[in-house]
A and B are shown apart, each in its own frame.
Chain A
Amino acid sequence: MRPLIVISHVPRIDFMRWHIPSFVFSAVLMVATVVIFFTHGLNYGIDFVGGTLIEAKTQGPADLATMRTKLDSLKLGEASLQQFGGPDGVLIRLPQQAGGDAVQMQAIQKARDVLGPGVEYRRVEVVGPSVGSELIRAGVLATVLALGAILIYIWFRFEWQFGIGATIATLHDVVTTVGLFAIFQLEFNLTTLAAILTIAGYSINDTVVIYDRMREDMRKYRTMSFRELINLALNETLSRTVLTVTTVALAVLSLLIFGGEVLKGFSIAMLWGIVIGTYSSLLVAAPILYYVQPDRRKVGASVTEKAPASAAERASR
């Protein structure tokens, strides 16, 4: 049984031609993220800033105005209500209550009392102030450690120049994903953080595959210019890159479509992450090596030079 679709030849795309525009694009994206991050901030979920979140279902269509009036009468600060899932679904957010963890916990019971019977509580989350700040710290720590660990691993497996390239590319993906959440003010919570770390893992995965091939080609073609070499490695791995991105995107898309409201934020982050991760592997991570070129003598130490590859290998057999 033969495949229905066959990519029969190695493409010859000049990726390097686009690397300057893509560097500019990425730099703009990252700067924009930083600016928006500091001017508008992120729309942190209660995981990080504390507060109360209630997902409720009413009998019949939800009357948001009445519910809002009822909640406002409690003087718990500005309650935010939004339609969630269907017409009878409501997502209620109450802000962090002043006065510590104990006060925070009382707010939810007051809200339940005032909304009265006839409301089904599908989900209630209350996070006190002390936990929120810890979660932020743990999240930042996890991201920094993940980047550091990846850098060290790549450094250990490759030359340090590859480590630099991979770290910049991964950092790029992490930063711009945060940027996506800042620009669209999507809720940034614990699952988003999980998505970001997964994106870091996925993006680095993509980059490593390309770097692996570059290292191999550096051994094979000792006289080839570095520019050509990068193009060659990218083209040789292109079908794999496209296929893998498609399979992962298929999995993520089905999560986005069928996975329900709770996973929506996660799926959006992942979808963006695999797109930007693939882009950055092709047009950021690989071209960076043009500027911090690995030492060919070190990389190519193990194999004797001869081209083309297949001939060389048959000869050495």
Chain B
Amino acid sequence: MLYFANWKVVVICAVCALGVLLSLPNLFTEAQLSRLPAFAQKQVSLGLDLRGGSYLLLQVDVEAAQRERLNGVVEGVRKTLLDAKIGYEGLKSEGDAAVFTISDKGRIEDARQALAKLDPDLALTIAADGTGSMRFTQVATDSRRRQAVDQSIEIIRRRIDETGTKEPTIQREGQDRILVQLPGIDNPQRVKELLGRTAKLTFQLVDPNVSVEDARRGKLPPGDEILPSAEEGRGSRNSPSAGSYVVRKRVMVGGDTLVDAQATFQNNEPVVSFKFDAVGARRFGDATRENVGKPFAIVLDNKVISAPVIREPITGGSGIISGSFTVQSASDLALLLRAGALPAPITILEERTVGAELGADSIHAGTVASIVGVALVAIFMVLFYGLFGIFADIALFFNLCLMLAGLSLLGATLTLPGIAGIALTMGMAVDANVLIYERIREERRGGRSLLSSLEAGFSRAFGTILDSHVTTLVAGLLLYWLGSGPVKGFAVTLSIGVLTSLFSAILVTRLQIVTWVRRMKPKEIPL
């Protein structure tokens, strides 16, 4: 007991000193910090509930993307079978598969060979009666999902960066969710609007041979689709088509070939100017050259923004989208086009926004509560344990420093429940001291010598302390694993607190008592 190996003393003191040093930066304001060297600037990072900001949980609707892709498969099957001159009927998408029936049973094998070349991601089955289906393999679906989420994260980052939000955090959560944290944003409405749009832009030819009315009555040619206008009611004046267009499904050029988009003015109207890359420019040039005099539709998220008539081939690789934009909507569209289209629609599942003022109030309340709590506990310990209470309080101080240092080192985030966790840990940390001191007192009363009862107090209390810490740690780790947001913050401080209090209550207290016994050579334990 009395013997502490020198290296152990050094290690304990070093850990304590490091704890104090690493927790010190938290006492300074940002302005004061900036004058310090870089290594001393690391503060505990505050959660959005303390610094103010907005937290959004998004879901990538991978299924929607999959459905859309399936439509492409249906088209692919149609084209393949037509090209191979194989008769078929009942081709459509059903559930997660494209289904069809081969009319000529003699050509099933030909159909199989032709369709097998379509896409390696597709699994093909054709039964003897000619009914067949094509669906995406599990591997393809999974990798597609991963890709869609990764791509979404990238696009979301670009969109948010364009809004000028500082230090956004965008990370994957689970399989198909994305967590977005926007510090300092107290109304995320604009961001939500920007994220809510897929921004898939296409240029498609308008089919001039079919009117919307005919198409609605079932005379829709197979390669066409009816798309609504972006503005309801618009167009009812110029044409009877009630704001809808019949356009060819085939895409002339897609928005993925854009390299730039800017909001500008044309005839005092806000418009969006865009530039294609080389491939897009050539395709757009070719398509416009072949269709001079015909209208084409500029389609955004399956709505027609405008459908101008091609007056002459557009070969310059740039153009202008006009519609009835406001300045804001034009610049939003330009932003979305620059950032690119989302591979799948996104829905917002959860929003938590905390204003900066409430955050500041929470920091203040949490700090006051913690300080008062620690002070009360400290006074209480001195009242009941005298000198040993002071030892416990010193250990408590180092415990607090080590907790803060641990939080900074791990890059953990401190939330309001996290502060509650700190206050609570302070109350619980002295439990180890109480256990030890009660045990020492008891052993001494039982007739042991001074040194022997100190020794027994520590060694006998240790098992109990370990048990009680492990059970709290179990609860803490489960909370971390299953909790979300602020609760995770609580779990982090609770778990770190359990570990640091094990160190401080046992080793730091013990070192102090050993030093005291050696220096003062006491005759009696002041308990």
Q: Which residues of A contact B (CB under 8 A)?
A: 1-6, 10, 55, 57, 100-102, 105, 108-109, 112, 120-128, 130-131, 135, 138-139, 141-142, 145-146, 149-150, 153-154, 157, 190-191, 193-194, 197-198, 200-202, 204-206, 208-209, 212-213, 236-237, 239-240, 243-244, 246-255, 257-260, 262-263, 266-267, 270, 309-310, 313-314
Chain B 466-484 against A: per-residue CB contact (8 Å), 1 yes, 0 no?
Answer: 0110111011101101111
Tell me, rounded to whole Å, the shortest Cβ–Cβ distance linking A15 to chain B: 18
Can you pick out 18 interface pairs between chain A and chain B where the beta carbons lie within 8 Å of each other?
A105-B348, A108-B351, A121-B353, A123-B358, A124-B351, A126-B350, A127-B350, A128-B349, A130-B349, A153-B467, A200-B475, A201-B472, A204-B471, A206-B468, A240-B435, A255-B420, A258-B369, A262-B416
Tell me, rounded to whole Å, the shortest Cβ–Cβ distance linking A65 to chain B: 24
Asked if A208 contacts B424 (CB within 8 A), the reply is: no
Asked if B351 contacts A105 (CB within 8 A), the reply is: yes
Pick from B88-96, B141-149, B383-391 the stretch touching chain A: B383-391
Asked if A193 contacts B438 (CB within 8 A), the reply is: no
With contact pairs A1-B387, A139-B482, A260-B362 given, residues A248 and B467 touching in the complex (Cβ less than 8 Å): no
Asked if A236 contacts B442 (CB within 8 A), the reply is: yes
6 additional A-B residue pairs with CB within 8 Å, beyond A10-B442, A57-B357, A112-B189: A109-B189, A126-B352, A201-B475, A209-B467, A240-B434, A263-B369
> A55 to B357, alpha carbons, bound, how many Å?
12
Asked if A239 contacts B424 (CB within 8 A), the reply is: no
Q: Give the chain B neighbours of A204 by CB distance below 8 A.
A: 468, 471
Asked if A254 contacts B372 (CB within 8 A), the reply is: yes
Instruction: Say yes or no: is B243 at the interface (Cβ < 8 Å to chain A).
Output: no
Q: Give the chain A neighbours of B428 by CB distance below 8 A.
A: 202, 205, 244, 247-248, 251
Tell me, rounded to whole Å, the shortest Cβ–Cβ distance linking A217 to chain B: 12
Tell me, rounded to whole Å, the shortest Cβ–Cβ distance linking A115 to chain B: 13
Of B348, B380, B427, B479, which one neighbours A252 at CB under 8 angstroms? B427
Q: Give the chain B neighbours of A260 by CB distance below 8 A.
A: 361-362, 365-366, 369, 416
Q: Which residues of B contact A (CB under 8 A)?
A: 49, 57, 59, 186-187, 189, 192, 196, 347-355, 357-358, 361-362, 365-366, 368-370, 372-374, 376-377, 380-390, 416-417, 419-420, 423-424, 426-428, 430-431, 434-435, 438, 442, 446-448, 463-464, 467-468, 470-472, 474-476, 478-479, 481-487, 490-491, 494, 526-527
Tell me, rounded to whole Å, the shortest Cβ–Cβ distance linking B60 to chain A: 13
Tell me, rounded to whole Å, the shortest Cβ–Cβ distance linking A290 to chain B: 22
Asked if B357 contacts A122 (CB within 8 A), the reply is: yes
Q: Give the chain A neighbours of B348 by CB distance below 8 A.
A: 101-102, 105, 126, 128
Q: Give the chain B neighbours of A154 by CB distance below 8 A.
A: 471
With contact pairs A130-B349, A258-B365 given, residues A250 and B486 touching in the complex (Cβ less than 8 Å): no
Tell me, rounded to whole Å, the shortest Cβ–Cβ distance linking B517 to chain A: 15
With contact pairs A5-B384, A194-B491 given, residues A201 and B431 touching in the complex (Cβ less than 8 Å): no
Asked if B351 contacts A101 (CB within 8 A), the reply is: no
Which 4 A-B residue pairs are closest in the complex by CB-CB distance?
Answer: A251-B427, A260-B365, A201-B475, A310-B446
Asked if A102 contacts B347 (CB within 8 A), the reply is: yes
Asked if A205 contacts B476 (CB within 8 A), the reply is: no
Q: Give the chain B neighbours of A314 by CB distance below 8 A.
A: 447
Closest partner residue, chain A, to B351 (CB atom): A126
Asked if A101 contacts B59 (CB within 8 A), the reply is: yes
Asked if B368 contacts A258 (CB within 8 A), the reply is: yes
Asked if B478 contacts A105 (CB within 8 A), the reply is: no
Q: Give the chain A neighbours of B189 by CB distance below 8 A.
A: 109, 112
Q: Give the chain B neighbours of A239 by CB distance below 8 A.
A: 438
> A1 to B424, alpha carbons, bound, how many Å?
28
Closest partner residue, chain A, to B192 (CB atom): A105
Closest partner residue, chain B, to A190 (CB atom): B487
Asked if B490 contacts A240 (CB within 8 A), the reply is: no
Closest partner residue, chain B, to A126 (CB atom): B351
Asked if A149 contacts B423 (CB within 8 A), the reply is: no
Tell me, rounded to whole Å, the shortest Cβ–Cβ distance linking B384 to chain A: 5
> A198 to B373, alpha carbons, bound, how many Å?
18
> A101 to B353, alpha carbons, bound, how many Å?
17
Q: Give the chain A neighbours of B357 by CB distance below 8 A.
A: 57, 120, 122
Q: Give the chain B neighbours of A247 by CB distance below 8 A.
A: 377, 380-381, 427-428, 430-431, 434
Of B358, B376, B442, which one neighbours A254 at CB under 8 angstroms? B376
Tell me, rounded to whole Å, the shortest Cβ–Cβ distance linking B290 to chain A: 40
Asked if A205 contacts B431 (CB within 8 A), the reply is: yes
Asked if B467 contacts A212 (CB within 8 A), the reply is: yes
Q: Give the chain B neighbours of A124 by CB distance below 8 A.
A: 351-354
> A259 to B422, alpha carbons, bound, how many Å?
12
Instruction: Find the residue from B357, B426, B447, B468 having the highest chain A CB count within 10 A.
Output: B468
Asked if B468 contacts A3 (CB within 8 A), the reply is: no
Asked if A251 contacts B475 (CB within 8 A), the reply is: no
Q: Give the chain B neighbours of A262 by CB distance below 8 A.
A: 49, 362, 416
Asked if B380 contacts A198 (CB within 8 A), the reply is: no
Asked if B474 contacts A201 (CB within 8 A), the reply is: yes
Asked if A123 contacts B354 (CB within 8 A), the reply is: yes
Q: Give the chain B neighbours of A202 by CB distance below 8 A.
A: 428, 472
Asked if A194 contacts B483 (CB within 8 A), the reply is: yes
Asked if B468 contacts A55 (CB within 8 A), the reply is: no
Q: Give the chain B neighbours of A198 by CB distance below 8 A.
A: 424, 472, 475, 494
Asked if A2 contacts B386 (CB within 8 A), the reply is: yes
With contact pairs A194-B487, A240-B435, A254-B372 given, residues A131 and B350 touching in the complex (Cβ less than 8 Å): yes
Q: Give the chain B neighbours of A3 by CB distance below 8 A.
A: 382-386, 388-389, 526-527
Of A138, A150, A191, A257, which one neighbours B486 at CB under 8 angstroms? A191
Closest partner residue, chain A, to B436 (CB atom): A240
